């Protein structure tokens, strides 16, 4: 071993200590995954070297034959994995192997459930695969040198997976990284060529560079070659470059795990080669779970970009719109230059054409999933539905297509939460119905029991129930579907069109005329609290509701703006009352104006509560209610 200098012992970051504790106590239910994780990291290191060498060919140090080698020593009980990729400097080694460089690490630890299977998948999400080495090893050594540094700037890192690690400067002639796993007692099965070969074929066959193992030697010991002869054990061709007919579902699934660092299988994928004016290959995946940073719109996202099979960058976000930021995969273009940068990508017209085509491909994939595998689509919707709802505002060209993928709760008999598509709704329209009715609110229970739905229940008209915080904003962009206009049943003066008979309309006009006196009294009593008072055609059981003006913000949007510290425009609700309700009849007959005023305010406040709003003056409401109760009990 080379002479070690500048040797020091450093402590792990607290989060790493916790993670190592989980690893060492066999968090992974499938131990052989450690090799997949280490090979995946080695593949990334080679990709990074290829990319940096485009601008600095000297980094290849005369050796452009890039590969990964896996070897073992049965006597020493070790497994060694070596790559000739980019390598690490001393500072990079401390940063990458002593800390978890992820802002979500605290979230990760907070979300650990104690369920081994669930927790092991979390580890993959957070890209901490190197530490999986400690599942099978009680000591791990890393020898590494960054390409471009001198042989004397090699680094030796070692740890037993406890509270600290040792790091020293050593001589290392070749660039890249060598990891030596000292196997725990009971894990000797991995110091075996047949076992390692099978694991590599199972998990890493898709890796686009050679993975080599020493050739098995059969014969007299004296004839054994002094130096091992190596043989490639994987396909060593990038999976996306192969014809679809030659790739199995299992291989597609393993490749997804490689590009996404997820441990679960994807819900769906689409592999496509485009030839003609543009030439590129794409392999796109719909994940089965949502990452922790899904709702952070600034979080890193995007596809792995290759140009002519040369890796260019991770997380190239110019190829898909923001509302599809959950999609994983690769795109390999023949039309871009090898020295392409993010700045060039933002201006290149080729990218616009590719983005348009890839967006349609993803939407088609989701359409197919919804049609052929509705249960899988429910899983997708649960994880990514709110993000997809950003689509109609961002992507006018595909608005109708996105709208067809949306799911909502509904008043339809037997329909649960968020399972109804707009296509389902339109297929159930009543004769004469040319509108799609919806109601927004804070929760499913609140909107399901809203007084605004009373006339719709009476007439058997289905209403969509929108309870996500984004829904009111969504509906300001989604104005129609399949030629049918959307109508908010809590907004403006409800007009059911031909769903109301001429007799109904005539009766409504007569009732409104007969209650003009009560309307004026209520206006006077409620004063500045309301924009208008009118007889309601929406109510059958409740005494009163608050409607929203056509141009006013709804409750959801007001709450979002208030929560973000923005000024909310002043608006007043419309007070509508049910002329046939006993409370309204008593109110109309009340001669005492003070008592009339108290009762009017109580009805107003109750209508606000039923709409999910908070009271402006709760104390005044309680006083009026108590006063009324005392009078009733006297």
Question: Which is higher by pLDDT, 213 or 106?
Answer: 213
Cα separation, 492 vs 485, whole angstroms: 15
Q: What is the dihedral of CA 50, 54, 56, 58, to 10 degrees?
A: 60
The predicted pLDDT at position 125 comes to: 46
Q: Which of 77-91, 199-213, 435-449, 527-541 has the highest mean pLDDT?
A: 77-91
Any idea which of 25-34, 432-441, 596-605 has the lowest mean pLDDT?
25-34
| Nearest to 49, CA basis, from 20, 89, 85 | 85
Mean pLDDT of the chain: 85
Cα separation, 216 vs 184, whole angstroms: 24
Mean pLDDT of all residues in 517-537:
88
Any idea which of 18-32, 428-442, 498-512 has the lowest mean pLDDT?
18-32
Cα separation, 533 vs 624, whole angstroms: 21
Cα separation, 118 vs 28, whole angstroms: 10
Cα separations in angstroms, 83 against 61, 138, 174, 404: 14, 22, 10, 48
What spatial distance separates the first Cα and last Cα of the chain, rounded to whole Å?
98
Residue 554 has pLDDT above 50, yes or no: yes
Residue 113 has pLDDT above 70, yes or no: no
The predicted pLDDT at position 362 comes to: 97
Residue 205 has pLDDT above 70, yes or no: yes
How would you write 127-178 as a 3-class SS string? CCHHHHHHHCEEEEEEEEECCCCCHHHEEEEEECCCCEEEEEEECCCCCEEE
Phi, psi of 485 (to 5 degrees): -80, 145
The predicted pLDDT at position 14 comes to: 72
Cα separation, 379 vs 385, whole angstroms: 9
Cα separation, 16 vs 367, whole angstroms: 41
Cα separation, 481 vs 53, whole angstroms: 51
Where do you find CATH 3.30.565.10 in the chain?
5-236
Cα separation, 616 vs 530, whole angstroms: 13
The predicted pLDDT at position 105 comes to: 47
Q: Which of 172-181, 199-208, 316-325 has the highest mean pLDDT?
A: 172-181
Counting Cβ atoms within 10 Å, is residue 264 exposed (0-12), middle (13-18) or buried (19+)? middle
Cα separation, 370 vs 66, whole angstroms: 42
Mean pLDDT of all residues in 451-470:
89
Cα separation, 214 vs 81, whole angstroms: 12
Reported as a pLDDT band with limits 50, 70 and 90, residue 103 is very low
Please give the share of the chain, as a percent, with pLDDT higher than 70: 89
| Nearest to 411, CA basis, from 374, 466, 363 | 466
CATH of domain 407-490: 3.40.50.11260
The predicted pLDDT at position 138 comes to: 92
Per this entry, what is the length of the chain?
Answer: 634
Tell which CATH architecture fits domain 5-236.
2-Layer Sandwich (3.30)
The predicted pLDDT at position 118 comes to: 54
pLDDT tens sequence across 502-522: 777 788 888 888 888 888 999
CATH class of 240-381: alpha beta
Strands across the sheet containing 268-274: 268-274, 280-286, 328-333, 303-307, 310-316
Where do you find CATH 3.30.230.80 in the chain?
240-381
609-616 own/partner pairs: CB under 8 Å, 24+ apart = 610/450, 610/451, 610/542, 610/545, 611/441, 611/450, 611/490, 611/545, 611/546, 611/555, 612/441, 612/442, 612/443, 612/446, 612/555, 613/546, 613/555
Question: Which is higher by pLDDT, 329 or 4?
Answer: 329
- Please give the helix or strand (H or E) that residue 62 lies within, else none: none
Cα separation, 529 vs 516, whole angstroms: 19
The predicted pLDDT at position 26 comes to: 46
Residue 173 has pLDDT above 90, yes or no: yes
Pairing state of beta strands 464-466 and 435-440?
Answer: parallel
Reported as a pLDDT band with limits 50, 70 and 90, residue 179 is very high
pLDDT tens sequence across 572-608: 888 989 888 999 988 888 888 888 988 999 998 988 8
Contact between 293 and 299 (Cβ < 8 Å): yes
Mean pLDDT of all residues in 449-476:
89
The predicted pLDDT at position 62 comes to: 82
Reported as a pLDDT band with limits 50, 70 and 90, residue 104 is very low
Tell which CATH architecture fits domain 499-633.
Up-down Bundle (1.20)
Question: What DSSP state is assigned to residue 409?
Answer: E
DSSP 8-48: EEEEPPHHHHHHHHHHHTT--SSTTHHHHHHHHHHHHHHHH
Where do you find CATH 3.40.50.11260 in the chain?
407-490
The predicted pLDDT at position 415 comes to: 65
The predicted pLDDT at position 221 comes to: 56
Where do you find CATH 1.20.120.790 in the chain?
499-633
């Amino acid at each position: 071993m080379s002479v070690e200098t500048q040797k020091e012992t450093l402590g792990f970051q607290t989060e790493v200590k916790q993670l190592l504790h989980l690893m060492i106590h066999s968090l992974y239910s499938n131990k052989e995954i450690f090799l997949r994780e280490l090979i995946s990291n080695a593949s990334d290191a080679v990709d990074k070297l290829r990319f940096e060498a485009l601008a600095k060919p000297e980094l290849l140090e005369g050796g452009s034959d890039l590969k990964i080698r896996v070897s073992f020593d049965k006597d020493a009980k070790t497994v060694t994995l070596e790559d000739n990729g980019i390598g690490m400097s001393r500072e990079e080694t401390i940063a990458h192997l002593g800390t978890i460089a992820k802002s979500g690490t605290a979230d990760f630890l907070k979300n650990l459930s104690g369920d081994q299977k669930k927790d092991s998948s979390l580890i993959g999400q957070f890209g901490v695969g190197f530490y999986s080495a400690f599942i099978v090893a009680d000591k791990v050594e890393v020898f590494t040198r960054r390409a471009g540094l001198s042989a004397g700037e090699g680094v030796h890192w070692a740890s037993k997976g406890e509270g600290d690690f040792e790091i020293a400067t050593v001589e290392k002639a070749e660039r890249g990284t060598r990891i030596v796993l000292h196997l725990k007692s009971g894990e000797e099965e991995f110091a075996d060529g047949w076992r390692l070969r099978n694991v590599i074929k199972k998990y890493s066959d898709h890796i686009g560079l050679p993975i080599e193992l020493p050739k098995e030697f059969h014969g007299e010991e004296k004839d054994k070659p002094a130096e091992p002869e190596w043989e490639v054990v994987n396909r060593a061709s990038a999976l996306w470059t192969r014809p679809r007919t030659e790739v199995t579902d299992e291989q597609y699934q393993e490749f997804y795990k490689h590009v996404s660092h997820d441990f679960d299988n994807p819900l769906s994928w689409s592999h496509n080669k485009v030839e003609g004016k543009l030439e590129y290959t794409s392999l796109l995946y719909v994940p089965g779970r949502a990452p922790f940073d899904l709702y952070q719109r600034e979080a890193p996202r995007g596809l792995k970009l290759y140009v002519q099979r040369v890796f260019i960058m991770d997380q190239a976000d110019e190829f898909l719109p923001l509302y599809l930021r959950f999609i994983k995969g690769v795109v390999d273009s023949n039309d871009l230059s090898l020295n392409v940068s993010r700045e060039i990508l933002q201006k290149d017209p080729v990218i616009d054409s590719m983005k348009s085509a890839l967006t349609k491909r993803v939407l088609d994939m989701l359409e197919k999933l919804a049609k052929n595998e509705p249960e899988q689509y429910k899983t997708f919707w649960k994880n990514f539905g709110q993000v997809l709802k950003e689509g109609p505002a961002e992507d006018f060209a595909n608005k109708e297509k996105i709208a067809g993928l949306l799911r909502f709760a509904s008043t339809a008999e037997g329909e649960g939460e968020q399972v109804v598509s707009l296509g389902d709704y339109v297929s159930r329209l009543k004769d004469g119905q040319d509108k799609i009715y919806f109601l927004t609110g804070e929760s499913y229970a609140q909107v399901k029991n809203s007084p605004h739905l009373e006339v719709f229940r009476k007439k058997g008209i289905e209403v969509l129930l929108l309870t996500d915080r984004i829904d009111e904003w969504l509906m300001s962009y989604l104005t129609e579907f399949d030629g049918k206009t959307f109508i908010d049943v809590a907004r403006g003066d409800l007009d059911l069109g031909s769903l109301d008979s001429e007799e109904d309309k005539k009766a409504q006009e007569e009732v409104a005329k007969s209650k003009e006196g009560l309307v004026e009294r209520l206006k006077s009593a409620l004063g500045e609290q309301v924009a208008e008072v009118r007889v309601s055609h929406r109510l059958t059981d409740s005494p009163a509701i608050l409607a929203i003006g056509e141009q006013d913000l709804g409750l959801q949007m007001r709450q979002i703006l208030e929560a973000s510290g923005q000024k909310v425009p002043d608006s007043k609700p419309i007070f509508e009352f049910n002329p046939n309700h006993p409370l309204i009849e008593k109110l109309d007959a009340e001669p005492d104006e003070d008592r009339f005023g108290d009762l009017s305010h109580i009805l107003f406040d109750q209508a606000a509560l039923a709409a999910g709003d908070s009271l402006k003056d709760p104390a005044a409401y309680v006083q009026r209610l108590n006063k009324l109760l005392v009078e009733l009990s006297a």
